[in-house]
Amino acid sequence: MEVTQQKCACSDCVCIVNVDKALKKNGKNYCSESCANGHPEGSGCGHTGCKCHG
């Protein structure tokens, strides 16, 4: 079985990302630039229903 989706690597994020379309940083998959960059200035990922801010 091949994994095609997984949870965003940001610990506070609830988003599920397609592995082939995810933002990749340090070998991890993220749903957005904000999550991948550690939420600079407390910005969220911007996805409806997700309240992550790092």
pLDDT (tens digit per residue) in 4-39: 999 999 999 999 999 999 999 999 999 999 999 999
| Residue 20 falls inside a structural domain | yes
Domain span holding position 26:
5-42
Q: Is residue 27 part of a domain?
A: yes
Q: What angle do CA 33, 10, 35 make, to 5 degrees?
A: 15
> Closest by alpha carbon to 29, among 18, 40, 38, 39?
18
User: What's the number of CA atoms in the CB half-sphere (13 Å) around residue 9?
Assistant: 17
Q: Is residue 47 part of a domain?
A: no
Q: Is residue 50 a part of any domain in this protein?
A: no
Give the confidence band of 50 by pLDDT, cuts at 50, 70, 90.
Answer: very high
Query: Total structural domains in the chain?
Result: 1
